[in-house]
Chain A
Amino acid sequence: MAVAFDEMNIPGGDLRPAYQELARWLKETPPEALEYRRQEAELLFRRIGITFAVYGDSESTERLIPFDVIPRIMSGKEWTLLEKGLKQRVKALNMFLRDIYHGRDILRAGIVPDDLIFQNPVFRPEMNGQQVPHDVYVHIAGIDIIRVDANDFIVLEDNARTPSGVSYMLENREIMMRLFPDLFARHRVAPVERYPDELLSALRSVAPNSTSGEPTVALLTPGVYNSAYYEHSFLADKLGIELVEGRDLIVKNNEVFMRTTEGVKRVDVIYRRVDDDFLDPLTFRPDSALGVPGLMSAYAAGNITLANAVGTGIADDKAIYSYMPDIVKFYLGEEPILKNVQTWRCREPKDLAYVLDNLGDLVVKEVHGSGGYGMLIGPAATKATIEAFREKLKREPEGFIAQPTLALSTCPTCTASGLAPRHVDLRPFVLTGSKSTTIVPGGLTRVALKEGSLVVNSSQGGGTKDTWILDE
């Protein structure tokens, strides 16, 4: 594995320009002061109640995601490029979804194989020919970005279903501003606080035509036991919309209403943080207690907007991922600005042969997995693990893709033995309304706190950092 690109230090001892002020500040600040602020930050997070639940962990059902107080910094120029690439990518995702559920030009053109769509459990036949308001499918996208050198941004994963983490982006900033006012004063950091406003206007802009007057927006949560519940309540609060559970909603004459103390009230747009499978027990899983019976028929009647739309999973599936560069070119006629990680599709015999020969060097992922589970990180795995995985892979090659182990870029991070480089990724949040696509500068930086670890997922020991885009 190559030496990782460090976002602060240039080999040879120089600093990258974006980090110069931070480096000066770090020199002036005694390590105890940093440690003290770190503890203060933890206390604040706990008091605000920014916790997440870990499933199957009875010891402590509410945990904090570790927060690293050293910001991750990018220059405005870098951001401009990234932003352009993100908009391009999300535009293509939306066009792809519209096409898959309507004309299917891309299948006829032979760019994406049919069976990858129709055999895919996240493809929703219910959405065939279904008109979604304003043709927007992915209103909120979280695109996971990594860097391996100074020039390129690479998409690791598209999240087009119910991406989470934006509350951390906002709260991290609040807490950093509270704890390090002096450090902020020495930088010009682009603000992120507009996010809730932009989200609300994006959601309102996609209200169905049958809306009368101002559209009513609600956020649908699975409830307090969901791991992202804090984020749901946080966003509902910031947006000033009702936080509803399935049992608060009813469908009458193909319209959706919420039960209020003054009787029922029509809802026009649902920002849903409930997965497709659980949305409507009449259409999807009949055992779902989280959903709303009849929601899909109101959706089909065009009386409710769901954000994101149903069936978007087909666009962020890991099997589709490898086709994204072609998808961008097909719909937009442009070269993709953001690169893909080189990906071997194990369903293709030639690729499978290569992967089996090089398991020790590759990362192999389940096509339908998420959260960093069920994957093999070749260089870090024991012989026995690799052999066990080889059997699994041979049995069901179409269930896997493989990628080279990338040296994710590193950023300085507080560790038990002082500042040290740790691997990071970035999840910016892309909002698409009926008229425009917006991205607040930055996103959620996740950091693998264990030395050498490349897994940034919070469920597996990852932490977060505040992400600064400098306004130059």
Chain B
Amino acid sequence: MLSRTAENLYWLARYVERAEYLARTIDATLRVTALPAAYIGKTNEWDSALLTAGVAESFYQTHEEANEHNVVDYLSFSADNPSSIRNCIEAARLNSRSVRTALTSEMWDTINSAWIELQEVWSKGTSTREDLAKFLRFVQETSLRFDGSAYRTMLRNDAYWFSRLGLHLERADNTARILDVKYHVLLPEEEHVGGPLDFYQWSSILRSVSALTAYHWVYRETLKPWLVADLLILNSTLPRSLASCYDNLTRNLDQIGVAYGRQGPAQRHARGIRNRLEHSNMNDIFQHGVHEFIQEFIADNSRLGEIITKQYLI
């Protein structure tokens, strides 16, 4: 297929995934900030939301402090924030238009309808909490519908695999960023300083990757930071865990390699990361330092993006 088409599919999936993740982050932050201050301590959760979205630096260039009003606006509707939900949907639609021939009509319809629907929200904003909640739900549903359409209607060929690569690379990045911002509340009990109030922090983390219910099914335990980290990093049964993302990334890259009759640096690099995840346990990771581990992962993950681009997309 055309390199440009593959590139568009890859980015299209990344934008949709990012939009959903931003919606979840805002949702989770709204919940945690609605609690009495005594339950969440002194951290500014809206600042954390900016950090997990990776846009704190650009935000503070134009804003003094982070609060619900300006962060929700910046993450959702701002035209100036290249990673706002709005810009993700706009970019997704532009990408869709330029690769319409590679999309199924269901996928196009999802993106185009969402874009049409959201024009009004862009122009008016959301005046009430209820409007905002509706909007955030709509964004998450759009992503689910898009993902579902791709899964159910696309031919299983390189077009599908490149779009999956974008999805899982973005997803891994998002999960890793939450861990990076919140790692301090996940440290083993003896080291960490927050006290039992961190329960709400942990549930908030899980909620932002839609894993709160999953946690209980997997561990049948009350929330423990150690297990939260285990779930998000190493448990390959959770779709948003780093391990699961890398199971998928290696598989999709292998499928491309087989179809093209050629393996390359992208396949090798992905396999390397996957092996490391497979052979790690939380003990080692905590010994090594969670923060260092996550930072290394984020760098490795974005390196994979660069390698894929160089190998296939340009």
C-alpha gap A245/B94 in the complex (Å): 15
- In the complex the two chains form, is B109's CB within 8 Å of A248's CB? no
Tell me which of B97, B101, B113, B312 contacts A236 (CB under 8 A). B101
User: Within B2-29, which residues are at the interface with A (CB < 8 Å)?
Assistant: 2-6
A326 on the B face (CB < 8 A): no
Beyond A224-B94, A237-B100, A261-B312, whether A248 also contacts B2 by CB under 8 A is: yes
B260 on the A face (CB < 8 A): yes
B35 on the A face (CB < 8 A): no
Q: Mark each residue of chain B from 282 to 314: 1 if its CB lies under 8 Å from any CB of chain A, else 0.
A: 000000000000000000000000000000111
- In the complex the two chains form, is B4's CB within 8 Å of A247's CB? yes
- In the complex the two chains form, is B6's CB within 8 Å of A261's CB? yes
User: Within B77-114, which residues are at the interface with A (CB < 8 Å)?
Assistant: 94, 97-98, 100-101, 108-109, 112-113
A233 on the B face (CB < 8 A): yes
- In the complex the two chains form, is A242's CB within 8 Å of B94's CB? no
Nearest CB in chain A: distance from B108 CB, A:
7
B74 on the A face (CB < 8 A): no
- In the complex the two chains form, is B4's CB within 8 Å of A233's CB? no
Residues of B within 8 A of A259 (CB): 2-4, 314
C-alpha gap A25/B274 in the complex (Å): 67
Residues of A within 8 A of B2 (CB): 242, 244, 248, 258-261
C-alpha gap A30/B2 in the complex (Å): 50
Q: Mark each residue of chain A from 236 to 254: 1 if its CB lies under 8 Å from any CB of chain B, else 0.
A: 1100001111011000000
- In the complex the two chains form, is A47's CB within 8 Å of B101's CB? no
User: Within A207-258, which residues are at the interface with B (CB < 8 Å)?
Assistant: 223-224, 229, 233-234, 236-237, 242-245, 247-248, 258
CB-CB nearest in chain A for B94: A224
CB-CB nearest in chain A for B109: A47
C-alpha gap A248/B3 in the complex (Å): 8
Nearest CB in chain A: distance from B229 CB, A:
37
A46 on the B face (CB < 8 A): yes
B116 on the A face (CB < 8 A): yes
Residues of A within 8 A of B6 (CB): 261
Residues of B within 8 A of A223 (CB): 98
C-alpha gap A46/B119 in the complex (Å): 13
- In the complex the two chains form, is B3's CB within 8 Å of A261's CB? yes
CB-CB nearest in chain B for A223: B98
Residues of B within 8 A of A234 (CB): 100
Nearest CB in chain B: distance from A292 CB, A:
14
Number of chain B residues whose Cβ lies closer than 8 Å to a Cβ of chain A: 23
Nearest CB in chain B: distance from A349 CB, A:
52
C-alpha gap A261/B108 in the complex (Å): 22
- In the complex the two chains form, is B98's CB within 8 Å of A224's CB? yes
C-alpha gap A389/B101 in the complex (Å): 46
- In the complex the two chains form, is A224's CB within 8 Å of B97's CB? yes
A472 on the B face (CB < 8 A): no
A286 on the B face (CB < 8 A): no
- In the complex the two chains form, is A261's CB within 8 Å of B101's CB? no
Q: Mark each residue of chain A from 254 to 289: 1 if its CB lies under 8 Å from any CB of chain B, else 0.
A: 000011111000000000000000000000000000
Residues of A within 8 A of B1 (CB): 242, 260-261
C-alpha gap A261/B113 in the complex (Å): 30
B68 on the A face (CB < 8 A): no
User: Within B194-220, which residues are at the interface with A (CB < 8 Å)?
Assistant: none
CB-CB nearest in chain A for B100: A233
- In the complex the two chains form, is B108's CB within 8 Å of A248's CB? no
Residues of B within 8 A of A47 (CB): 109, 112-113, 116
Residues of A within 8 A of B108 (CB): 49
C-alpha gap A258/B1 in the complex (Å): 9
Beyond A247-B4, A260-B2, A261-B3, whether A233 also contacts B162 by CB under 8 A is: no
Nearest CB in chain B: distance from A460 CB, A:
25
B158 on the A face (CB < 8 A): yes
Residues of B within 8 A of A229 (CB): 97
Residues of A within 8 A of B3 (CB): 248, 259-261
- In the complex the two chains form, is B162's CB within 8 Å of A49's CB? no
C-alpha gap A418/B312 in the complex (Å): 57
C-alpha gap A220/B202 in the complex (Å): 53
- In the complex the two chains form, is B101's CB within 8 Å of A243's CB? yes
C-alpha gap A36/B113 in the complex (Å): 21
Nearest CB in chain A: distance from B129 CB, A:
30
CB-CB nearest in chain A for B3: A259
- In the complex the two chains form, is B260's CB within 8 Å of A262's CB? yes
C-alpha gap A234/B312 in the complex (Å): 26
User: Within A382-406, which residues are at the interface with B (CB < 8 Å)?
Assistant: none
Nearest CB in chain A: distance from B43 CB, A:
43
Residues of A within 8 A of B112 (CB): 47, 49
Residues of A within 8 A of B4 (CB): 245, 247-248, 259
Give the 7 A-B CB pairs with smallest separation, nearest first: A233-B100, A237-B101, A261-B312, A259-B3, A261-B6, A236-B101, A224-B98
Question: Interface on B for A, CB 8 Å cutoff?
Answer: 1-6, 94, 97-98, 100-101, 108-109, 112-113, 116, 158, 162, 256, 260, 312-314
Other A-B pairs beyond A47-B113, A243-B101, A261-B260, 14, CB < 8 Å: A49-B100, A224-B94, A233-B100, A233-B101, A236-B101, A237-B100, A237-B101, A248-B4, A261-B1, A261-B2, A261-B158, A261-B256, A261-B312, A261-B313
30 pairs, CB–CB < 8 Å, chain A vs chain B: A46-B116, A47-B109, A47-B112, A47-B113, A47-B116, A49-B100, A49-B112, A224-B98, A229-B97, A233-B97, A233-B100, A233-B101, A237-B100, A242-B1, A242-B101, A244-B2, A245-B4, A247-B4, A259-B3, A259-B4, A259-B314, A260-B2, A260-B3, A261-B1, A261-B2, A261-B6, A261-B162, A261-B260, A261-B312, A262-B260
Question: Interface on A for B, CB 8 Å cutoff?
Answer: 46-47, 49, 223-224, 229, 233-234, 236-237, 242-245, 247-248, 258-262
